[in-house]
């Protein structure tokens, strides 16, 4: 029996129908896929108007933020449906291990049926659930571009975090977890996104068939019990040993421990002339004064393509290795592509010869490479530039690849970006629309203003969900006090959902009137106008706006005694993380340092000082990169 509980009006309006309809489909999909039946007789899904977590996979009673289950039948934008499908899938998977909705289902198997032995293997719950949620979401929404969504939402974000000095590994020792980490801090992108990325890679080189077979064996043996990652490796090894289709260069444990027990990830460097591939740990910027060890090596599965044809999987099991198959001829049409569709958790650094050949290929046929691989080329190029590898200009100065995909800040350029990667329009409309408005294209601003005005005239009018946040922001931004006051009125409307309120809290920070921002921040201090937990949210929203970061910082310094009493000094760390993006001069950094020295005890300044040093470093890197990009744009982009 499957039931959904929600506010009466949301049920009568049909907002939970979609979630209810796909829940049974996802259950059946997971039971068939894993060959394990759900062990309870019922599942209730509860939509809560105010719920801190996105969702929680309680066995038989899954709880969700209201917005995570709501879909209006009149909303034609498919991204909303995709989000719900992914969330439900994740939570159902936890009921073995299974984006939130699908993730909730997954925990029925990964997490509830089998639970990790200790917190150091939390990724066995959350990482596997985050991987399977995309399979389940694709089952109920088969038109979803799974590989593109997974790369953009899972792999790319964690690569940006997993390249810093001292980042933890996916699976730490129990002693280290007990001594160095709070358990709540383990619920981070390393656990979720890196865990999912490693699972994606594992499924890729094993084949999905063998991976699922091993998981079924693992789940059946440890049902209603606990397991660690070595138990999972054992069951995968058993499946590998029982067949001869897939051959591995080492034991499953040796291969996978190199990914889960070491921090970071590798970058592969390909020399096209010799066919040599070498590996080293990828770090954003090597610090010569650091005592950190850079000796990590991985056993790396290399998917690759030559001149458009997929080639057999290769393995790099040492720091450097020659692959005669990858030596190329003098023909400019002879090229190599590694890590096709980002099947492995690593970056690739090509030599100039291969870059020029790939550039020539894409100039003649922008779709000659898979969409994710095209995106990956650009992403890797920027990441390598930031770490001090050969500059972007040296790599792409003569190509139209970056020019078309990133730097044509015009309506035409946005269309090229949109079509170039092949993303379905509805799935990526939200980001595209937000980007166009951020760039200041008048058509986008006019549309936002028009839709916002339509809502002001008719309070029953529903702005399409996917663009609602952007429309509200720019409706307020291009408007006056009248538009701001309307947002405030709607925020206080009794029928507003938690998600609606968050959209409006953000929108009110978009005003371009300084005095309205001052007033808004003052509202945040009032016990009668807003709940106390809104104050810090408002400060951070205002701080991210071009005219707001200085206003918000002055507000914080003037009201620090009250803010400190209400939120504690942790608020300073959150503020610095956001404010760091807007601190551009040594004087501003010194001003921050003076404030911290005056407000924090000596033993409390350590973490803040590290954050401040990181801010200085980030700003220096940002200035260097902006200069390079500006010079490149002047040479290569038309007026």
What is the secondary structure of 240-295 as a DSSP string?
HHT-SSS--SS-HHHHHHHHHSS-S-EEEEEETTTTEEEEEE--SS--TT------
Residue 534 within a domain: no
Residues 215 and 280 in one domain: no
Give the chain's radius of gyration (CA, Å). Answer: 26
CATH number, domain at 220?
1.10.390.10
Q: What is the structure's pLDDT at 276?
A: 96
Residues 189, 93 share a domain: yes
Residue 29, domain member (yes or no): yes
Residue 58 in tokens? 């309680």
- How far does the chain reach from its first CA to its final CA, in angstroms? 62
DSSP 3-state of 536: helix
Band (pLDDT 50/70/90 cuts) for residue 82 is low
If pLDDT is split at 50, 70 and 90, which confidence band does 408 have? very low
CATH code, 368: 2.60.40.1910
210-256 pLDDT per residue, tens:
999 999 999 899 988 898 999 999 999 999 999 999 999 999 999 99
Contacts of 297 (CB under 8 A, 6+ apart): 258, 266, 279, 318, 319
Residue 313 lies in a domain: yes
Q: Is residue 337 part of a domain?
A: yes
Least confident of 330-334, 448-452, 574-578: 574-578
Instruction: Name the pLDDT band for 409 (thresholds 50, 70, 90).
Output: very low
- Tell me which range, 48-57, 413-422, 439-448, is most confidently predicted by mean pLDDT: 439-448
Distant-in-sequence, close-in-space partners of 434: CB < 8 Å, separation ≥ 6: 467, 469, 470
pLDDT value at residue 139: 81
Q: What is the mean pLDDT of the chain?
A: 80
Beta strands in 190-240 (DSSP E): 225-227
126 is in an annotated binding site: yes
Q: What is the pLDDT of residue 87?
A: 59
φ, ψ dihedrals at 280, nearest 5° = -155, 160
Which of 407, 434, 460 lies at the terminal end of a domain, its last residue?
407
Cβ count near 569 (within 10 Å): 16
Three-state secondary structure call for residue 606 = helix
Furthest-apart CA pair in the chain: how many Å?
Answer: 74
Instruction: Assign 605 a pLDDT band (cuts: 50, 70, 90).
Output: low
Classify 569 as helix, strand or coil. Answer: coil
Whether residue 455 is contained in a domain is answered as: no
Number of domains, the chain:
2
For the annotated catalytic residues, the residue numbers are 91
Kindly state whether residue 118 falls inside one of the protein's structural domains: yes
3-class DSSP assignment, residue 488: helix
pLDDT digits (tens, 9 = 90+) for 39-59: 788 889 898 877 666 667 777
Most confident of 25-34, 174-183, 471-480, 597-606: 471-480
Predicted confidence (pLDDT) at residue 400 exceeds the cutoff of 90: no
Looking at the structure, do residues 156 and 62 belong to the same domain, yes or no? yes
Is the pLDDT at 34 greater than 70? The verdict is yes
Q: 281 and 219 share a domain?
A: no
Query: At 110, phi and psi to the nearest 5?
Result: -95, 95
Residue ranges of alpha helices (H) inside 95-155 are 123-140, 146-150
- From 407, 427, 452, the end of a domain falls on 407
Verify that 157 and 72 share a domain, yes or no: yes
Produce one character per residue of 575-601: b if its CB has 16 or more CB atoms within 10 Å, e if not.
Answer: bbebbbebbeeeebbeebeebbeebbe
Q: Are 204 and 198 in contact (CB under 8 A)?
A: no
Q: What is the pLDDT of residues 505-524, one digit of tens each?
A: 999 999 999 999 999 999 98
Looking at residue 326, the DSSP 8-state letter turns out to be: G
Q: Are strands 114-116 and 225-227 parallel, antiparallel or unpaired?
A: parallel
List, edge to edge, every strand of the sheet that includes 320-322. Answer: 320-322, 276-281, 266-271, 347-350
Q: Considering only 94-103, 118-127, 219-228, 243-252, which range has the smallest mean pLDDT?
A: 94-103
- Mark whether 234 and 354 lie in a shared domain: no
pLDDT at residue 337, rounded to an integer: 96
Is 236 in the same domain as 269?
no
Where residue 568 falls (left for φ over 0; alpha for ψ -120 to 50; beta otherwise) is: left
Query: By three-state DSSP, how is residue 85 classified?
Result: helix
- Only one residue has tokens 């799974």, namely 146
Whether 588 maps to a domain, the answer reads no
Contact in structure between 161 and 191 (CB atoms under 8 Å): no
The answer to the question of whether 90 is labelled as a binding residue is yes
* 3-state helix vs strand vs coil in the chain, percent to 5: 55, 10, 30
Whether residue 317 is found in the same domain as residue 198: no
| Residues 185 and 87 reside in one and the same domain | yes
Choose among 116, 126, 117, 105: nearest CA to 36. 105
pTM of the model: 0.71
The pLDDT of residue 406 is 45
Report which of residues 405 and 389 the model is more confident about. 389
Extended beta strands in 32-138, E state: 43-48, 55-56, 61-65, 94-95, 101-108, 114-116
15-24, 296-305, 411-420, 533-542: the lowest-pLDDT one: 411-420
Residues in contact with 4: Cβ distance below 8 Å, sequence separation at least 6, in sequence order:
11, 16, 19, 20, 23, 44, 45, 46, 47, 69
Q: Is residue 386 part of a domain?
A: yes
Query: Would you state the pLDDT for residue 208?
Result: 93
Q: Between 454 and 168, name the one with better pLDDT.
A: 454
Query: How far is residue 403's CA from residue 401's CA, in Å, rounded to a whole number?
Result: 5
114: domain range? 2-241
- Of 407, 431, 454, the last residue of a domain is 407
Note every long-range contact of 49-52, with CB atoms under 8 Å and residues 24 or more positions apart, other chains counting. Answer: 49/7, 49/497, 49/498, 50/498, 51/498
User: Can you read off the two tokens belonging to residue 500?
Assistant: 């609606």
Residues 318 and 220 in one domain: no
* Residue predicted with more confidence, 174 or 182: 174
> For 241-296, what is each residue's pLDDT tens digit?
999 999 999 999 999 999 999 999 999 999 998 999 999 999 876 544 455 556 79
Question: 166 or 306: which carries more pLDDT confidence?
Answer: 306
pLDDT over threshold 60, residue 398: no
Based on the fold, state whether residues 269 and 217 are members of the same structural domain: no
Please give the pLDDT value at position 480.
94
Higher-confidence position of 315 and 90 = 315
pLDDT band with cut points at 50, 70 and 90 for residue 534: confident
SS3 63: strand
**Residue 420: pLDDT over 50:** no
Top mean pLDDT of 62-66, 502-506, 530-534 is at 502-506
Q: Are residues 207 and 327 in the same domain?
A: no
pLDDT bin (cut points 50, 70, 90) of residue 366 is: confident
**More confident site: 168 or 413:** 168
- CB of 358 within 8 A of CB of 337? yes
Q: What is the pLDDT of residue 110?
A: 56
d(CA 619, CA 609): 15
């Amino acid at each position: 029996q499957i039931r959904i509980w929600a506010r009466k009006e949301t049920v009568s309006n049909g907002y939970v129908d979609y979630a209810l309809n796909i829940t049974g489909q996802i259950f059946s999909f997971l039971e068939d896929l894993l060959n394990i039946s759900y062990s309870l007789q019922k599942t209730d899904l509860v939509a809560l108007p105010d719920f801190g977590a996105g969702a929680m996979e309680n066995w038989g009673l899954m709880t969700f933020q209201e917005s995570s289950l709501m879909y209006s039948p009149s909303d034609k934008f498919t991204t909303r449906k995709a989000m719900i499908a992914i969330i439900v899938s994740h939570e159902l998977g936890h009921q073995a291990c299974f984006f939130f909705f699908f993730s909730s289902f997954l925990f029925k198997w990964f997490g509830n049926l089998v639970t990790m032995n200790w917190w150091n293997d939390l990724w066995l719950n959350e990482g596997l659930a985050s991987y399977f949620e995309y399979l389940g979401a694709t089952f109920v929404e088969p038109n979803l571009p799974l590989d593109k969504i997974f790369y953009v939402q899972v792999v790319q974000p964690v690569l940006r975090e997993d390249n810093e000095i001292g980042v933890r590994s996916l699976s730490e020792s129990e002693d280290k977890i007990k001594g160095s980490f709070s358990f709540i801090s383990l619920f981070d992108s390393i656990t979720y996104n890196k865990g999912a990325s490693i699972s994606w890679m594992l499924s890729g080189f094993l084949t999905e068939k063998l991976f699922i077979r091993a998981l079924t064996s693992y789940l059946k043996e440890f049902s209603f019990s606990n397991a660690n990652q070595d138990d999972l490796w054992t069951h995968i090894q058993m499946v590998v040993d029982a067949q001869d289709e897939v051959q591995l260069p080492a034991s499953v444990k040796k291969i996978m421990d190199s990914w889960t027990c070491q921090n970071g990830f590798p970058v592969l460097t390909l020399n096209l002339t010799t066919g040599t591939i070498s590996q080293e740990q990828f770090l954003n910027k090597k610090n010569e004064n650091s005592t950190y060890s850079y000796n990590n090596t991985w056993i790396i599965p290399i998917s690759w393509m030559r001149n458009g044809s997929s080639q057999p999987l290769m393995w790099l099991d040492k720091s450097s290795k020659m692959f005669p198959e990858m030596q190329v001829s003098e023909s400019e049409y002879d090229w190599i592509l590694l890590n096709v569709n980002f099947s492995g958790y690593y970056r690739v650094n090509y030599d100039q010869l291969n870059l020029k050949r790939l550039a020539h290929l894409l100039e003649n046929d922008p779709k000659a490479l898979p969409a994710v691989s095209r995106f990956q080329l650009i992403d890797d190029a920027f990441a390598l530039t930031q770490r001090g590898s050969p500059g972007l200009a040296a790599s792409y100065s003569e190509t139209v690849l970056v020019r078309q995909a990133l730097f044509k800040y015009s309506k035409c350029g946005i269309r090229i970006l949109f079509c170039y990667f092949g993303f379905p329009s509805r799935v990526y409309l939200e980001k595209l629309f937000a980007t166009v408005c951020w760039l200041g294209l008048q058509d986008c601003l006019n549309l936002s203003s028009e839709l916002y005005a339509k809502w002001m005239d008719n309070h029953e009018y529903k702005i399409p969900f996917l663009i609602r946040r952007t429309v509200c922001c720019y409706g307020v931004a291009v408007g006056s006090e009248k538009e701001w006051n309307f947002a405030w009125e709607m925020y206080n409307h009794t029928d507003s959902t938690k998600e609606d309120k968050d959209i409006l809290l953000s929108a009110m920070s978009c005003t371009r009137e300084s005095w309205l921002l001052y007033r808004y921040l003052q509202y945040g201090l009032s016990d009668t106008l807003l709940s106390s937990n809104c104050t810090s949210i408002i400060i951070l929203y205002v701080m991210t706006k071009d005219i707001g970061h200085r206003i918000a910082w002055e507000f914080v310094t003037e009201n620090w005694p009250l803010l400190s009493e209400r939120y504690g000094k942790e608020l300073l760390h959150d503020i610095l993380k956001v404010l760091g993006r807007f601190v551009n001069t040594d004087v501003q950094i010194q001003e921050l340092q003076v404030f911290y020295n005056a407000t924090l005890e000596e033993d409390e300044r350590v973490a803040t000082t590290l954050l401040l040093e990181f801010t200085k470093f980030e700003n220096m890197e940002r200035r260097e990169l902006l200069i390079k990009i500006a010079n490149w744009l002047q040479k290569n982009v038309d007026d």
